[in-house]
Amino acid sequence: MGLDPIGLVGRDREPAELAMFLDKAATDGAAVLLTGEPGVGKTALLDATAELAVAKGARVVRGSGVEYETDISFAGLHQLVASMSHELGRLPPSLREALEVALGLGAGPAPRPITVMNAALALFEEAAKEQPLLLVVDDLHVLDHASRSAVGFVARRLSGRPIGVLGARRPESGEPFPSTGLSEVEVTPLNDADARRLHMSAVHDAETMQKQLAG
């Protein structure tokens, strides 16, 4: 079926680049942004890369831009931080409190954005002490502005830290993500032959499932 190393039909270049990205991220930090038209397969690549990262021993934390949360500051960052309550408790009080207030988890005067970003970086660094950390963020083009800034801030400061940032967005969004420090991998549509193979694979999987359900 022409499967690539992480199990996707018709994908050779992107998985190879993403596998190298994971190896670099696990030792010295790295950031990559997938760009491509809607439905081209960005999310499938995110999923496959996340699975590969887990197989390599990394911890994967995921978030995604949501249109109805675009106007809520740090809504996207909240998704990434929500599973790190243990690590949050190990931060210095000033950073922990700034992050808690910014994310609506605590009360107090609004912290400066730079303080929140430093706190997020410190939190991710704390989480990566036990095992490499991969942050996966889909639909960056609809992420709230504050979280977008935080992702870019973290992505530019990964050197020497076992942390990876992997994002995806649509190219027509017009957002200047290259300046955030994320190198880009363009995800192009499958050629006709691979598209047919993908369709055949999906049909085969559906038929197999129906037979299993039928007993």
Tokens of 97: 């409190």
In whole numbers, what is the pLDDT of the chain averaged over residues?
82
pLDDT digits (tens, 9 = 90+) for 88-104: 999 999 999 999 999 99
138 forms beta bridges with 64
CB 109 within 8 A of CB 144: no
Identity of the amino acid at 88: L
At residue 201, the 3 state secondary structure works out as helix
What is the model's pLDDT at position 175? 54
**pLDDT category of residue 205 using cuts at 50, 70 and 90:** very low
Q: Once rounded to an integer, what is the mean pLDDT over residues 141-169?
A: 93
Over pLDDT 90: what percentage of the chain? 56
In sign, the C-alpha dihedral spanning 16, 18, 20, 23 is negative
| pLDDT greater than 50 at residue 6 | no
First to last CA, the chain: 27
What is the model's pLDDT at position 211? 56
d(CA 174, CA 203): 36
pLDDT digits (tens, 9 = 90+) for 10-68: 456 778 889 999 999 999 999 999 988 887 788 889 999 999 999 999 999 999 998 88
**Which distant-in-sequence residues (6+ apart) come within 8 Å of 204 by Cβ?**
none
What is the model's pLDDT at position 204? 40
| pLDDT greater than 80 at residue 130 | yes
**pLDDT category of residue 198 using cuts at 50, 70 and 90:** very low
What is the model's pLDDT at position 192? 43
d(CA 140, CA 137): 7
| Domains of the chain, CATH where assigned | 13-189 (3.40.50.300)
Of 48-62, 161-175, 179-193, the range with the lowest mean pLDDT is 179-193
- Cα dist from 112 to 74, 94, 99, 151, 180, whole Å: 13, 12, 10, 16, 19
